[in-house]
Amino acid sequence: MRVLGVDPGLTRCGVGVVEGTAGRPLTMLGVGVVRTPSDAEIGDRLVAIEQGITDWLDEHRPELVAVERVFAQHNVRTVMGTAQASAVAVLCASRRGIPVALHTPSEVKAAVTGSGRADKAQVGAMVTRLLRLAAPPKPADAADALALAICHIWRAPAMNRLRQAQSAARPSRLPASPPSSSVRKVTR
């Protein structure tokens, strides 16, 4: 499975591509950051992020895009920018018919380090180790993007089994209306 991880942000949007399967060594195919100037208009910044992500999709042809799920922080402005960049990533993938998975920061940290409360240095160190890199990717947004991709590759088989089990456990849907032979009109 080839996954493009996206750590959304308006100034720095981390991107990283990882290929592999759960239980096997993973391979990093690329890592970087899509940058936008903080003094540019919001529309121009979003267009730049769209172009950057589109370039990554063209170059690496991922099977899935894993995006960090936006969570509420105290700084509303930061949350809004992150949400906007996240929406651009989802839109770029969806236009191409590429499935998108959203993962929370604590879910990613737990998958990669074993602790949902790990700090950025711990995530970077584990990404470096898991992908057999010489040094942690810089800036941290790039390492976080790789961590998102790793998280999805490792969690996808379990998530698929869970969805299948849930589907099998659901009662089959009844027809919208009963067959005509069993409908009786009741009059009083």
Show which residues are catalytic: 7, 68, 141
Would you say 39 and 56 are in contact if contact means Cβ atoms under 8 Å apart?
A: no
DSSP 5-50: EEE--SSEEEEEEEE--TTS--EEEEEEEEE--TTS-HHHHHHHHH
Q: How many residues does the chain have?
A: 188
Q: At what angle do helices 140-169 and 120-130 cross, to 10 degrees?
A: 80
Q: How far apart are CA 150 and CA 66, in angstroms?
A: 9
Tokens 């990404």 map to which residue?
A: 127
HSE-CB at 3 with a 13 A cutoff on CA atoms is 27
d(CA 93, CA 61): 10
